């Protein structure tokens, strides 16, 4: 038989006492979860969409990243956000195993609502045409006979598929919007269709290259971004009120001024 020393018995007794004492204290403070590690929610993004989300060395930066920080602080939740790329982020948020949510200028659409839950809208956007100065493209309808680049599986892709027709080889789909922009830059296509903030940023950042952005409110309607969750996520309930508070705060306007410039039109967002 193994001999258990008196010292060991006393030590384990003391440990049991200390542990149960802790429990009692936490219960008294009403903090029943204190013994459990704090949950760190994992967000996925696609850091190739400046100024909304972009990589600065190995760090994600941009409007969405600052906005998420404000929302998570308001909600009192721990989180991390990683650059996954667009297709992988859509897939992994759907599965809800490795990632709890996606934030990536994701437009809330009826299509996507079949697969994801979304927060309330936090950003108003629209698709926009990017082309080169001197081009005869004036509206989305003019894109019909042209070569157009889009990021695949985006609302821009869907809209252009509608205009140019399914299976049209002149509609080129890229894995990232950065690659679509490169294709225009190297004259592989006549235009890119992407979200307004991204097109404006690209025109601004490439002054010598004579890019122009064209807004077509008839063909491209307003879209609203939401944070995407796997169906039934507890996060929706936790984040919606926090988003509302941030939308009503000066913080939202500051983040907007920093990344987009000027003042946001809050009429539809605060309705
Ligand atoms: N708003 C568009 C959509 O939801 C494009 C979003 C692309 N986002 C990105 N980070 N690449 O389809």
pLDDT tens digit sequence for 175-197: 999 999 999 999 999 999 999 99
> Buried b vs exposed e over 145-154: b needs ≥16 C-beta within 10 Å?
ebbbbbbbeb
Do the strands 59-61 and 228-230 form a parallel or antiparallel pair, or are they unpaired?
unpaired
Ligand 1 center–CA 77 separation, angstroms:
25
Q: Provide DSSP, 88-114.
A: HHHHHHHHTSS-SEE-SS-B--HHHHT
Q: Would you say 128 and 213 are in contact if contact means Cβ atoms under 8 Å apart?
A: yes
- pLDDT digit string, tens, across residues 22-71: 444 444 444 555 678 999 999 999 999 999 999 999 999 999 999 999 99
pLDDT at 22: 44
Cβ(126) to ligand 1 under 6 A?
Answer: no
- The ipTM, to two decimals, is 0.98
Cβ(83) to ligand 1 under 6 A?
Answer: no
The phi and psi torsions of 123 (rounded to 5 degrees) equal: -155, 135
CA distance 91 to 58: 22
Ligand 1 center–CA 134 separation, angstroms:
28
Model confidence at 249: pLDDT above 60:
yes
Cβ(251) to ligand 1 under 6 A?
Answer: no
> What is the side-by-side strand order in the sheet with 116-118?
78-83, 40-45, 101-102, 228-230, 116-118
């Amino acid at each position: 038989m193994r001999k258990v020393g008196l010292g060991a018995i006393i030590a384990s007794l003391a440990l049991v006492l200390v542990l149960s004492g802790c429990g009692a204290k936490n219960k008294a403070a009403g903090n029943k979860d204190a013994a459990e590690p704090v949950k760190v929610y994992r967000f996925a993004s696609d850091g190739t969409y400046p100024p909304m989300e972009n990589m600065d060395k190995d760090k994600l930066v941009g409007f969405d990243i600052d906005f998420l920080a404000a929302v998570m602080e308001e909600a009192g939740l721990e989180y991390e956000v990683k650059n996954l790329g667009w297709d992988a982020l859509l897939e992994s948020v759907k599965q809800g195993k490795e990632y709890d949510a996606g934030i990536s200028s994701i437009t809330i659409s009826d299509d996507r609502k079949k697969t994801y839950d979304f927060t309330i809208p936090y950003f108003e956007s629209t698709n926009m045409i990017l082309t080169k100065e001197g081009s005869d493209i004036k509206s989305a309808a003019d894109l019909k006979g042209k070569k157009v680049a889009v990021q695949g599986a985006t609302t821009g892709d869907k809209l252009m598929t509608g205009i140019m027709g399914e299976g049209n080889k002149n509609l080129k789909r890229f894995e990232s919007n950065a690659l679509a922009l490169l294709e225009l830059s190297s004259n592989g296509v006549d235009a890119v269709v992407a979200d307004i903030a991204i097109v404006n940023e690209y025109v601004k950042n490439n002054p010598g290259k004579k890019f122009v952005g064209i807004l077509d409110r008839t063909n491209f309607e307003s879209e609203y971004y939401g944070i995407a969750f796997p169906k039934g996520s507890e996060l929706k309930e936790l984040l919606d009120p926090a988003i509302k508070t941030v939308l009503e705060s000066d913080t939202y306007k500051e983040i907007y001024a920093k990344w987009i410039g000027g003042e946001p039109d809050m009429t539809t967002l605060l309705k």
